[in-house]
Amino acid sequence: MRRIAPYLLVLCAACGGSQAVPAGGDGGAGPDQGTVSERTTVLTQLEARWMCDVTRFAYQDLGELQAELDARLGGAGLTRDDYDAFKAELASNEARRAEVVAAYDGLCGD
């Protein structure tokens, strides 16, 4: 795998850096309040950066790819369960998918 250390700082900035919400919290704003939670914002940015970087780097095997994703999630104060729930939501939430695409375009677009 090509080294990605320089990109981790970009990832942290894109994901809200120290504003990441610890696992189990939602930043105090949920869907019932009509606002996007800080956790969802962090996951949206993380997913956009992840999509960008997965196309840029070569991983030796699936285990290495999963380890990199887990490291990014952990750095943002999130778990794989948080990420899996977010990915499941993307399947049924067109607006959330549009947010990820917009974040991807902002971070990785040409």
Contact of 26 with 17, CB cutoff 8 Å: no
Note the pLDDT of residue 15.
38
Note the pLDDT of residue 82.
95
* DSSP tag of 21: P
Is the pLDDT assigned to residue 38 strictly greater than 80? Answer: yes
Note the pLDDT of residue 36.
65
Is the pLDDT assigned to residue 4 strictly greater than 80? Answer: no
Note the pLDDT of residue 110.
64
Is the pLDDT assigned to residue 68 strictly greater than 80? Answer: yes
Which position has the higher pLDDT, 59 or 6?
A: 59
Which position has the higher pLDDT, 26 or 90?
A: 90
Task: Report the mean per-residue pLDDT for the chain.
Answer: 74
The percent helix, strand, coil of the chain (3-state, each to 5) is 70, 0, 30
Question: What number is the average pLDDT over the span 53-58?
Answer: 86
**Dihedral class, residue 24 (left if φ above 0, else alpha if ψ from -120 to 50, else beta):** left
Local confidence band at 35 (pLDDT 50, 70, 90 cut-offs): low
